[in-house]
């Protein structure tokens, strides 16, 4: 909810330069079906959870018998995002630490007592490939999650490497449901994360599907999501939340970067209260230009520490911007709250892309960089 009003309270200059509706813009700009892929998010989650079981992959039973010191997740970009989420879940209710490595190399402290999960949607991400092969040569037990490529062929070479295949045919950031659900299913079945009570997943997925439909910007082009995107159209974006929601904050930033071609910065409470809060207070006036024109979005959930809730309430009351909202991730668990926020944030980033006249699937700079790296090898 907005600090002083609802998202519908905007000035005339907040309107986009064109008069087309979001539904019209989607028809004109959505060349790779990002809207339909976003609508399929919950079905992707259901499918992955069902797929990633010992019944389909008996090697999970042997991995589950080993007492691991921890789990190291290798990956980049959208393929690495799931590792952030399972790491947060493990910090909240897991049995071992889960750390993420986004690089060509392994941490110096790593040894084969740590299970490796290597994720690359394409199977050809060069950072993940190099780090995975290094780990396998050092006797790592490794689970590969991929749709194909070189990575998916490594289990044919290394006896301690196992493939958990994912679903292809779409950009990695839209495949988060496929990837994360397989990671989640794997960790539940090897005893690192707890199994839910019977029927809990189905009930959660039903609620999340209602969120997918309720936030759909094409079916509801004048709704709250569209109004939020309009407020963000020409303003700097700041995303703030508690430590356990940092994966959702980071994924929101990445979706804004790729889908909308927009910058966004992240602050995590309570840490940001010990530094960034000063910048929000401004210098020399109550409405310093460095913060007064920002859109400030504070992501919350019902399980936050009581002191973190108080800190958020204070900040939204004292921030110099008039465009500040607390946005709650709905659900009784951290898992459901994070997934609910993912759905909302995906729709916001797609709406912003359309309002800026951008195809949300277009990633020209990333493609150009990959081509450059291939040309100079």
Do 88 and 49 belong together in one domain? yes
Do 315 and 254 belong together in one domain? yes
Q: Would you state the pLDDT for residue 61?
A: 97
Do 336 and 223 belong together in one domain? yes
Residue where the block lists tokens 């799931």: 82
Boundary (domain end) residue, out of 170, 189, 208: 189
Do 310 and 253 belong together in one domain? yes
CATH number at residue 176: 3.40.50.10490
Do 137 and 261 belong together in one domain? no
Instruction: Look up the domain containing 79 and give its range.
Output: 39-189
Instruction: Find the helix or strand (DSSP H, E) in which 188 lies.
Output: helix 176-189
Extract the runs of DSSP E, i.e. beta strands, from 221-287: 237-242, 265-269
CA distances from 19 to 15, 25, 313 (A): 9, 10, 37
Confidence (pTM): 0.91
CA distances from 125 to 103, 130, 137, 296 (A): 10, 9, 18, 34
- pLDDT tens across 308-345, in order? 999 999 988 888 888 999 999 999 999 999 999 999 99
Do 272 and 347 belong together in one domain? yes
Q: How many CB atoms lie within 10 A of CB 13?
A: 6
d(CA 80, CA 76): 5
d(CA 119, CA 39): 23
Q: Would you state the pLDDT for residue 346?
A: 97
Q: Would you state the pLDDT for residue 282?
A: 66
Under-50 pLDDT residues of the chain: 1-17, 284-288
Do 157 and 230 belong together in one domain? no
**How far is Cα of residue 117 from the mean position of the Cα atoms in its chain?**
17
Three-state SS at 236: coil
Do 63 and 145 belong together in one domain? yes
Using alpha carbons only, give the angle 128, 132, 136 rounded to the nearest 5 degrees.
175
Q: Which residues contact 374 (CB under 8 A, 6 or more apart)?
A: none
CB 323 within 8 A of CB 295: yes
Q: Which of 353, 328, 351, 348 is nearest to 338 (CA)?
A: 328
- Indicate whether 164 belongs to any domain: yes
- Indicate whether 73 belongs to any domain: yes
Q: Would you state the pLDDT for residue 283?
A: 60
Do 142 and 26 belong together in one domain? no
d(CA 366, CA 261): 12
Extract the runs of DSSP E, i.e. beta strands, from 215-316: 237-242, 265-269, 295-300
Residue where the block lists tokens 């000063």: 278
CB 265 within 8 A of CB 253: yes
- Indicate whether 143 belongs to any domain: yes
d(CA 94, CA 325): 31
Q: How many CB atoms lie within 10 A of CB 310?
A: 11
Q: Would you state the pLDDT for residue 290?
A: 61
- Indicate whether 6 belongs to any domain: no
- Indicate whether 50 belongs to any domain: yes
Three-state SS at 269: strand
Q: Would you state the pLDDT for residue 20?
A: 82
Do 150 and 84 belong together in one domain? yes
- Indicate whether 365 belongs to any domain: no
d(CA 208, CA 203): 9
Do 43 and 26 belong together in one domain? no
- Indicate whether 201 belongs to any domain: no
Domain count, the chain: 2
Which tokens hold the place of 278? 């000063």
Boundary (domain end) residue, out of 171, 189, 207: 189
- Indicate whether 373 belongs to any domain: no
Do 141 and 173 belong together in one domain? yes
């Amino acid at each position: 909810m907005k600090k002083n009003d609802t998202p519908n309270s905007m000035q005339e200059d907040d309107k986009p330069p064109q008069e087309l509706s979001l539904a019209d813009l989607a028809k004109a700009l959505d060349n790779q079906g990002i809207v339909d892929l976003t609508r399929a998010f919950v079905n992707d989650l259901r499918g992955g959870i069902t797929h990633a079981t010992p019944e389909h992959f008996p090697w999970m039973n042997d991995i589950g018998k080993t007492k691991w010191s921890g789990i190291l997740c290798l990956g980049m970009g959208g393929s690495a995002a799931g590792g952030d989420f399972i790491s947060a879940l493990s910090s909240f209710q897991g049995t071992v630490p889960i750390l993420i490595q986004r690089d060509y190399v392994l941490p110096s402290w790593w040894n084969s007592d740590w299970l490796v999960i290597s994720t690359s949607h394409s199977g050809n991400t060069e950072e993940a490939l190099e780090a995975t092969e290094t780990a396998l040569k050092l006797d790592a037990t490794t689970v590969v999650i991929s749709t194909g490529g070189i990575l998916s062929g490594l289990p044919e070479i290394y006896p301690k490497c196992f493939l958990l295949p994912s679903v292809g045919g779409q950009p990695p950031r839209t495949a988060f449901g496929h990837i994360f659900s397989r990671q989640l299913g794997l960790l539940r079945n090897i005893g690192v994360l707890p199994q839910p009570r019977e029927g809990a997943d189905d009930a959660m997925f039903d609620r999340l599907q209602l969120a997918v439909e309720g936030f759909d910007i094409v079916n509801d082009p004048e709704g709250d999501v569209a109004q939020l995107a309009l407020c963000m159209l020409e303003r700097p974006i700041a995303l703030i939340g508690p430590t356990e929601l940092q994966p959702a904050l980071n994924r929101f930033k990445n979706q804004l970067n790729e889908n909308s071609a927009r910058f966004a910065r992240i602050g995590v409470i309570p840490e940001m209260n010990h530094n960034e809060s000063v910048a929000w207070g401004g210098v020399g006036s109550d409405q310093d230009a460095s913060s007064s024109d920002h859109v400030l979005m504070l992501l919350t959930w019902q399980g936050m520490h009581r002191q973190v809730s108080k800190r958020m309430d204070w900040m939204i009351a004292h921030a110099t911007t008039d465009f500040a909202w607390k946005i709650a991730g709905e659900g009784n668990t951290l898992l459901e709250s994070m997934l609910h926020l993912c759905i909302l944030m995906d729709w916001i980033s797609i709406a912003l892309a359309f309002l800026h006249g951008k195809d949300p699937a277009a990633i020209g700079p990333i493609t150009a960089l990959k081509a450059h790296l291939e040309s100079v090898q």
